[in-house]
């Protein structure tokens, strides 16, 4: 009887789980997969370059102000061999990461506090959403007044730009923890801090990650605006180099830096998407 | 019917060995004209080691009853006595945590119970063995079938080391074959661990298949309508004639109760 049930249990389990998908793919299959995801991107770049080249060829503007792709990529190739270029990237990325780090700390603290205390939510819940809709660049005059032309002014605006999104992501994550998980938590004896640690915080992770992703894009935009407006002496950041290129009427260099900034944005987006995807796969939120 | 009720009250008083005892329990949700009487003077008891099925149509407050016994909700009137017993509760949805593995979902219950870290892994493995899920320890909940998830939820409930297990339509969302197997499994675990089980369902045959006793609740408000001792020897089959016969009797009463709410 016992072995009979045991066989039935494992038999049904095997049937319900379905056949195991073959693991690993042959190199040719893998190459096909990579090509599948790559060719639309390659095509997009080709189209953009072609249109750009056509506009240059039409002589709509003098090549002084609108150089062609060849000139810009030539400039870019020369640029990446210099130490100054990498130093600029270092300065900008350090600002971005430090600002983003503090935005996460502050946004998380505010989000957790607002989610936990009802009166606080009534008081500043809508304020956070309001802040989120404000273009953070409008804070710069005030920031410069407060902190002069300094790193502090840039950090102030970067944090102000990113923290509301991060706080909101956490708040909605906590608000939408499924009630049946909360019941399970209660049944298991989770109270107060342990409820937060073992249930509420992990359960709100997906929403927190998307809030953080949005926060990053606000931080990055605020930083770029800040680097154009607040040029700190001796800190040749990407924004400062961009502004410098404009002052010298150096169009190829200007466009080269725009491309660099675009590429950084794309790279960071890839990282965030990978994190988001990995999380969704672990939770079984995606069909694969 | 009055006679049956009288009879129940007397035997309960005589036994005095109940693991769970409800005396005149009422539950009202809301206040004023919008208030809803979910349970009305419900008195029942489950003896130590007894498998009691609570049966009723929609709106009989079955789930409310378990929530009250589990202490998730306060009673409006009456008393619930579970002194000296540890209580675990299992729901219709497995409600496993997707950020944890199968083992992790069991270990979290052990951790909340205060089992030291060094013992959790082995204890969780033993519990998963009990629900026949060895080899699936490191899977994520979404990689399992519905029946397997419900077995993880059962292992998690057992991890609370309770001697009273409350089950709220735990197999309601499963297909017949899976449910049939899980009936055998829960019966085995109930015996092995000498659990007291309060099992809520709206499936009459399931109640007769599993219960030592079936308590029928009325709907809106929930009252104890009738009690049926199930004297069919175990192991039982859900499709046996004995089970079908008693189920038919109970179904007739249940139908009359549902019809009462028509015009």
Residues B103 and B197 in one domain: no
Under the banding of pLDDT at 50, 70 and 90, the label for residue A7 is confident
Check residue B13 and give its pLDDT: 43
Q: Which domain holds residue A210?
A: 70-282
The total of other beta-carbon atoms located within 10 Å of residue B56's CB is 25
Edge-to-edge strand list for the sheet holding B224-229: B87-90, B164-168, B196-201, B51-55, B213-217, B224-229
Residues B100 and B58 in one domain: no
SS3 B21: strand
Q: Which of B116, B145, B148, B156 is nearest to B132 (CA)?
A: B148
- What percent of chain A has a predicted confidence (pLDDT) above 90? 60
pTM for the structure as a whole:
0.82
Structure tokens at A119: 């009166």
Domain membership of residue A56 (yes or no) is no
* Residue B152 near residue B102, CB atoms below 8 Å: yes
Distance between A198 CA and the closest CA of chain B, angstroms: 8
> Could you report the per-residue pLDDT of B45-87, keeping only the tens digit for each?
999 999 999 998 876 788 889 999 998 889 999 999 988 899 9
Residue that terminates a domain, selected from B145, B162, B179: B162
Q: Which residues pair with A172 in a beta bridge?
A: none
Q: In whole angstroms, what is the distance from residue B92 CA to residue B149 CA?
A: 11
* Residue in B70, B111, B181 closest to A5 by CB: B181
Residues B180 and B248 in one domain: yes
CATH number at residue A277: 1.10.3720.10
Q: In whole angstroms, what is the distance from residue A46 CA to residue B227 CA?
A: 78
Is the pLDDT score of A150 beyond 60?
Answer: yes
Residues 26 through 45 of chain B touching chain A, CB cutoff 8 Å: none
Domain membership of residue A8 (yes or no) is no
* Residue in A13, A188, A284 closest to B98 by CB: A284
Check residue A257 and give its pLDDT: 94
Residue that terminates a domain, selected from B142, B162, B182: B162
Residues of A with CB under 8 A from a CB of B: 1-2, 5-6, 8-10, 12-13, 16-17, 178, 180-181, 183-184, 186-190, 194, 198-199, 202-203, 205, 282-285
> Could you report the per-residue pLDDT of A102-127, keeping only the tens digit for each?
999 999 999 988 988 888 888 887 88
Low-confidence stretches of chain B (pLDDT beneath 70): 1-16, 59, 263
* Residue B228 near residue B216, CB atoms below 8 Å: yes
Under the banding of pLDDT at 50, 70 and 90, the label for residue A38 is confident
Q: Please give the mean pLDDT across all residues of chain A.
A: 89
How far does Cα A88 stand from its chain's mean position? 20
Total domain count, chain A: 1
Q: Which domain holds residue B225?
A: 2-85+163-260
């Amino acid at each position: 009887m016992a072995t009979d049930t045991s066989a039935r249990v494992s038999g049904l389990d095997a049937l319900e789980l379905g056949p195991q998908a073959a693991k690993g793919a042959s190199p040719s299959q893998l190459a096909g997969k990579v090509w599948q995801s790559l060719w639309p991107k390659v095509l997009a770049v080709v189209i953009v370059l072609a249109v750009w080249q056509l506009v240059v060829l039409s002589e709509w503007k003098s090549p002084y102000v609108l150089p062609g792709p060849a000139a810009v990529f030539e400039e870019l190739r020369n640029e990446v061999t210099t130490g100054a270029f990498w130093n600029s990237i270092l300065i900008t990325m350090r600002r971005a990461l430090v600002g983003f780090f503090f935005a996460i700390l502050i946004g998380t603290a505010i989000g957790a506090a607002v989610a936990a205390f009802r009166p606080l939510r009534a008081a500043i819940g809508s304020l956070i959403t309001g802040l989120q809709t404000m273009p953070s660049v409008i804070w710069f005059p005030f920031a410069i007044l407060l902190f002069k032309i300094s790193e502090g002014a840039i950090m102030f605006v970067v944090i102000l730009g990113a923290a509301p999104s991060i706080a909101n992501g956490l708040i909605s994550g906590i608000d939408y923890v499924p009630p049946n998980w909360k019941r399970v938590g209660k049944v298991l004896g989770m109270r107060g801090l342990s409820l937060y640690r073992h249930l509420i915080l992990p359960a709100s992770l997906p929403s927190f990650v998307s809030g953080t992703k949005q926060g990053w894009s606000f931080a990055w935009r605020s930083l770029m605006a800040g680097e154009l407006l607040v040029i700190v002496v001796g800190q040749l950041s990407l924004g400062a180099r961009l502004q410098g290129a404009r002052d010298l009427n150096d169009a190829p260099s200007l466009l080269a830096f725009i491309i660099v900034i675009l590429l950084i944005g794309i790279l960071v987006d890839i990282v965030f998407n990978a994190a988001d995807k990995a999380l969704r796969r672990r939770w079984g939120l995606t069909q694969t | 019917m009055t006679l049956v009720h009288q009879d129940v009250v007397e035997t309960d008083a005589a036994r005095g060995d109940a693991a769970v005892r409800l005396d005149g329990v009422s539950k009202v949700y809301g206040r004023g004209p919008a208030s809803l009487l979910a349970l009305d003077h419900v008195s029942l008891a489950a003896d130590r080691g007894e498998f009691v099925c609570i049966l009723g149509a929609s709106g009989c407050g079955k789930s409310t009853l378990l929530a009250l016994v589990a202490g998730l909700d306060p009673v409006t009137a009456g008393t619930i006595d579970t002194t000296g017993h540890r209580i675990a509760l299992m729901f219709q949805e497995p409600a496993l945590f997707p950020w944890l593995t199968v083992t992790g979902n069991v270990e979290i219950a052990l951790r909340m119970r205060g089992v030291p870290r060094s013992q959790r892994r082995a204890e969780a493995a033993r519990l998963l063995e009990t629900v026949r899920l060895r080899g699936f320890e490191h899977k994520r909940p979404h990689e399992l079938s519905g029946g397997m998830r419900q077995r993880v939820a059962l292992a998690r409930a057992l991890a609370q080391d309770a001697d009273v297990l409350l089950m709220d339509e735990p197999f309601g969302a499963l297909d017949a074959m899976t449910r049939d197997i899980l009936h055998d499994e829960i019966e085995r675990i109930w015996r092995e661990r000498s659990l007291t089980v309060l099992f809520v369902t709206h499936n009459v045959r399931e109640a007769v298949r599993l219960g030592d006793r079936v308590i029928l609740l009325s709907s809106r408000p929930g009252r104890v309508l009738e009690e049926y001792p199930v004297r069919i020897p175990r192991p039982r089959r859900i499709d046996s004639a004995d089970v079908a016969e008693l189920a038919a009797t109970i179904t007739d009463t249940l139908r009359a109760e549902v019809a009462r709410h028509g015009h």
